[in-house]
Structure 1
């Protein structure tokens, strides 16, 4: 007898789809390098330095004893802030921010090692990666939690206007009923027959 499979949790397949996760990693990694390249090119043009791919992919350029190294470190820190915005837009789930942030830096480690033909041995580079991952994770988690905890509106203004309109109509009907109680004709509650309400003075005179 075949064992019955447990039904999947709603949304589990969509959240844990390998194709979706892979596409999100690719998009985030491209955005990570694109923003860093823009910042590096802009800074190099202002400083009058030669633009090279080593500034983007080589770990040897990140050194703590040169001005270029500290400038590149500041650029990568700013890039981590920008990447947190992309995580908010593409991921939007606080529990997944740490995984994607570490994946981005892991891929960057692999790309840097392949480009430089060596694993990074510069302590400044490793310290910068830890700082960048920390900033990206903390800011991404805060932004995603802020988005998740935002109140959901279900057409509150329209409901209030409809309620106010119904209340106004109800008060108008009540006024009409109140005026009819003074004097006039009406029908009984059972709908049978008509009655005429007579004032007290008229009733006294008729008696």
Structure 2
């Protein structure tokens, strides 16, 4: 008799699907750059600076000796905070947060190197990437664990007794007690007097 194979865990194939993982990486990377672009454009407009693609893709713009470099560093950290929301919506599993956070920053390293035609040699850029990945991972894990540990609601709400129903219940118990009935619903009974002269009830 052939041995029966154990059925796969529900959702196991979909969780390990390369197509799904690839689509999640692409969506998360696009959201990462889109959110960064919005923040950088807004900051550049407020500061009166010229808007260019170098602010988004070039590692040479992130310098620790200029105001623009520190401002961009703050913007990228804010972008990491915003991407925690995307991780919570797309990934929603605390065990996968580190992998996706590292993947996003690795792809950013590749894109930045190709755009600048040089490997990043700025220590400020590397320190910023380390802080960004750490921030995204720690907050992403915390958010996903908070979502995983939330109590499951099956849609039913416990019906709260109203004041009128409580009063009716109490009145019913009092009436039953007066007739000999109890709260246990054992039924009603009455005390019958005994006629001692005849010796019977």
Task: Give the TM-score normalised by the residue count of structure 1.
Answer: 0.77
Give the helix-richer structure, 1 or 2. Answer: 1
- Indicate the residue corresponding to 2:111 in structure 1: 111
Instruction: Give the 3 Å change call, closer, same or farther, for CA 4–120 of structure 1 in structure 2.
Output: farther
| 1:141-180 map, 5 Å | 141-153=141-153, 158=158, 161=161, 174-180=173-179
Moved more, 98-107 or 115-124: 115-124
Number of positions where the alignment pairs a residue of Structure 1 with one of Structure 2: 192
| Structure 1 alignment gaps of length 5 or more | 183-188, 190-194
- Indicate the residue corresponding to 1:45 in structure 2: 45
| 1:1-207 map, 5 Å | 5-153=5-153, 158=158, 161=161, 174-181=173-180, 198-200=192-194, 203=195
Query: Could you report, residue by residue, the CA deviation over 1:62-97 in whole angstroms, capped at 9, with x for unpaired residues?
Result: 122222111111111111111112212222211111
| Structure 2 alignment gaps of length 5 or more | 182-186
1:113 is displaced (CA, Å) by: 1.6
1:20 is displaced (CA, Å) by: 2.0
Instruction: Give the 3 Å change call, closer, same or farther, for CA 169–38 of structure 1 in structure 2.
Output: same
Task: Give the TM-score normalised by the residue count of structure 2.
Answer: 0.79
User: What do you get for the CA RMSD once the two structures are aligned?
Assistant: 3.3
1:13 is displaced (CA, Å) by: 1.7
1:160 is displaced (CA, Å) by: 5.4
1:206 is displaced (CA, Å) by: 7.1
2:59–2:122 CA contact under 8 A, matched in 1? yes
- Report the secondary structure of 2:10's partner residue: coil
